[in-house]
Chain A
Amino acid sequence: MVGSSRIGNIFLSPDSTLSNRTLRFLFFPFLLIYSIQTPLGAEQIFASDQGTWIHRAIRFWSFEDPSMQVILIGVLLIGINCGLMGGYVVTRRLSMFGDTLSHAVLPGIAIGYSLSRSGKEWGLMIGATISGFLGVAIISLLKKYTKMKVDSAMGLVLSAFYALGICLLTHLQQSTGGGQVNLENYLFGSLVGLSESDLPPIITCLCLVSVGFILLHKEILVSGFDPSFARSIGLPVDFIQLLIWGLLAFCIVSSLQIVGVVLVSALLIIPAATSWLLTYRMNHLLILSAFLGGLSGLLGCFFSFLTNHLPAGPTIVLCSTILFLIMLLFSPTKGMVPSWLRSRKRGNKIRIENTLKACYQVLEEFDFKKQCFPQSLLSRRRRKSDGEIEQEIDNLIRHGYATRIKSSSKKFGENISDTMISLTPSGWEVACRMIRNHRLWELYLTKKASYAPDHVHDDAEKIEHVLGEQAVRHLERILSNPRLDPHGKLIPSQDDIERGWTTGPSAAN
């Protein structure tokens, strides 16, 4: 029920800034398009070998070649487009479905091509969308009416539609003399084929996707994350689902030219998966993945331009993979390096607390008569070598929890060269708090959870480091401010901790 309440929240209070921000972000590129003059041949720009790589880089980022502008805008828009759709695909766990869809549009492209010779782009779009729909429909029919599992149904539709597409495209290529249909463009994609006439479908698609996502934001979220709730509040879930499949097919078709059949799903999945590592909120995820999609498009285009012969589609994919790897390592919330650092810090804290606890227990052996104690007693209690204890004490001193006192007294009848250790007030406070947590928890387990007294230590050993102040107060209240733990030892109270460490906890109460 947690999930549904969260979604209900989203539903009731939609992020109103989202639409503004997204609008501004999405429509910026459209303004650029109107400033384009007639393009040069894009092949010439990509194939030209002039200048060092620095010159080429400067030329790329100055955006001065008109046909370069077309390509860049196309790549940017496609990246944003796929990023947006991908956010939905990845959160709904439909990634492999997206892959299947991208293969299933191939026959539609061939048929669209052969039907409409003049306005070729639109024919392609419509044919491909229909054929994508057909693929999805066949998968769900196979799943529903036969004993086939969804994975083999998907694999079957994917490869069958793909084979049909290859056959039809080859047939078309041979019957038209090969010049018009470039099969390889649709399989691997190419940037140089991108001309101004390819932009309108891409722009339309982006408009549709972004308008759809902004207008139907709540509906899409609810019907995606909790279909039964959406049905119960009267949303047309199936219609929305269908709409999204349509948008997805449209989006895939418009990106085929640049990245090709196999790698379209990469453009869908990778930016969204990357932003999945960065945020927990759907709005932020969509914006981030649109941004990352556009960025990886630009970067891939740049490297492809820089090296002169790398194919653009795979380079774009590799760029977004590298972005993913960077985020996997360094994302502040879920990245591996930050979480490794956090766990190291936590481990250090636990080590310090354990040492302080042992110090307390050593002091307890002397009934808190002494203010300092020899290091060897600590190492005996911790069951560790002198060297290790030395390090632990160093660690305590670094954090200001203890001090070393050089002393040659023989009072304890121990080794003369033994270093004497004394806790500082802050060290004493942490030690008391740990002991208190530990013993309260032991008492709680024996009294309220009917554990045997000799079974409670290991549990308490773990929980003592995570019990908060409030939980401890609560425990004390439940146990009515106890003084003794199950093993007959004193539990230091809040008063003892505040009073300081001069005499140890007072038994009188």
Chain B
Amino acid sequence: MFSAWEIILEPWATPEQASWNLQIAIMGSLVCLCCSLVGAFVVIRRMALLGDAISHGILPGIVLAYLLTDSLAVGPMWIGACLAGLGCGITIEWLRTKTPLREDAAMGLTFTSFFALGVVLLSLQAGHVHLDPACILYGEIGLIPLDQELKLWGHSLGNQSIWIVGLVCLGTIAMIFFFYRVLLVTSFDLSLARSLGMPVVMIQYGLMLLLALVLVASFESVGVILVLAMMILPTVSSSFLFDRLPIILLSCVPFSIIYAFGGIQLAYWMNFPISASMVLVGVGIFMPCCLFGPKGGILAKLRLKISGKYLRAP
């Protein structure tokens, strides 16, 4: 029987284990951070389901890029994913406007078809074992430390995947920093943005491309479905605590770190996959936020209702 302390210490018992798990934790936090930063704008724009659709829809592009270049390099995969994601978005828009189908049916039809195409393409190449179907669905973040080391002028700089995701994360932060005002206005008040002469459609597509980049970078470690949780959970949780966008964006940093470390602990304790248990930790944090959060949480709302009743009483 383990005591609580032993459970917490288990992943960090020996130096080898500790460095292995630290790499996973860093990877997890970085993935979660870039997903949640882009995800914040996706959630605000009420495009969460479109994000889901695109995260599935990029699969054929990724697989094609992988089959053509025979490597898991981010560059070609990103181009493939952007093309497929763009194709997915355009198809949805076209079906919605030019055929009698409604938006939800157009979305469901497009992304499942794209996803099926991706899986079929993947199975055409039986010899390639690196990209395996289950990994697409829930990722293999536990194997991240096995990736190649990045060597620069003979010095080892640590894990290559972490560096790539870190770069993507930096890029995302930079993009959001530079285009913050435009993103803010287009997300909250489309007509104001139009009247200010902002290129609304361009920004929409820019956000989509950024989303595709983030999805590709995190795809290997968390898969296409859990990415959705990483995008939605931090923003939604902190929106019950704060109501200003910069603070919500900043709060993604601690949330990501908690998700990553908590996920590792949970995974070791219960024998779960790490990426899925990161999401479970996120849900565990979401629940009290949603219940007790001062900004529109369930209890706060109830209290408002009750006091409203007293106010209205004669």
Contact = CB atoms under 8 A, between A and B. Distances in A.
A332 B3 CA distance: 70
A270 B101 contact: no
A270 B228 CA distance: 23
Interface string B282-305: 110010001000001110010000
B236 A156 contact: yes
Contact-residue size bin, chain B (C-beta under 8 Å from the other chain):
35 or more
A263 interface: yes
Nearest to A319: B116
Interface stretch (A30-38, A160-168, A402-410, A487-495): A160-168
B107 interface: yes
Interface in B86-143: 99-105, 107-109, 112-113, 115-117, 119-120, 123-124, 126, 133-134, 137-138
A237 B307 CA distance: 33
A61 to B, nearest CB: 22
Interface in A164-217: 164, 166-167, 170-171, 174-175, 183-184, 187-188
A354 to B, nearest CB: 28
A230 interface: no
Given A96-B49, A145-B298, A266-B109, A163 B276 contact: yes
A159 B282 CA distance: 11
B112 A265 contact: yes
Interface in B227-242: 228-229, 231-233, 236, 239-240
Contact of A266 (B47, B112, B282, B301): B112
B99 A328 contact: yes
Interface SS, A side: helix
Contacts of A148: 236
B194 interface: no
A479 interface: no
Contacts of B272: 166-167, 170-171
A93 interface: yes
B270 interface: yes
Contacts of B236: 148, 152, 156
Contacts of B232: 152, 155-156, 159
Given A93-B104, A273-B101, A318-B116, A159 B46 contact: no
Given A273-B101, A318-B113, A321-B109, A160 B279 contact: yes
A103 B225 contact: yes
Nearest to B280: A163
A353 to B, nearest CB: 28
Contacts of B99: 277, 328, 334
Nearest to A168: B272
Contacts of B226: 159, 162-163
Chain B, interface SS category: helix
A170 B271 contact: yes
Contact of B273 (A93, A142, A166, A314): A166
Given A93-B104, A273-B101, A188 B119 contact: yes
Contacts of B229: 155-156, 159-160, 162-163
A263 B115 contact: yes
Interface string A128-148: 000000000000001001111
A149 B239 CA distance: 12
Given A160-B279, A171-B271, A146 B109 contact: no
- Which 6 A-B pairs have CB atoms at the shortest separation, nearest pair first? A266-B112, A159-B229, A163-B279, A317-B116, A314-B116, A95-B108
Interface of A: 90, 93-99, 103, 142, 145-149, 151-152, 154-156, 158-160, 162-164, 166-167, 170-171, 174-175, 183-184, 187-188, 262-263, 265-266, 268-270, 272-273, 276-277, 309-311, 313-315, 317-318, 321, 324, 328, 334
Interface of B: 43, 46-49, 51-52, 56, 99-105, 107-109, 112-113, 115-117, 119-120, 123-124, 126, 133-134, 137-138, 225-226, 228-229, 231-233, 236, 239-240, 270-273, 275-277, 279-280, 282-283, 286, 290, 296-298, 301
Given A162-B225, A164-B280, A167-B280, 16 more contacts: A146-B240, A149-B48, A151-B46, A152-B236, A154-B48, A163-B280, A166-B276, A167-B270, A174-B271, A184-B134, A265-B112, A270-B112, A309-B123, A310-B124, A311-B123, A314-B117
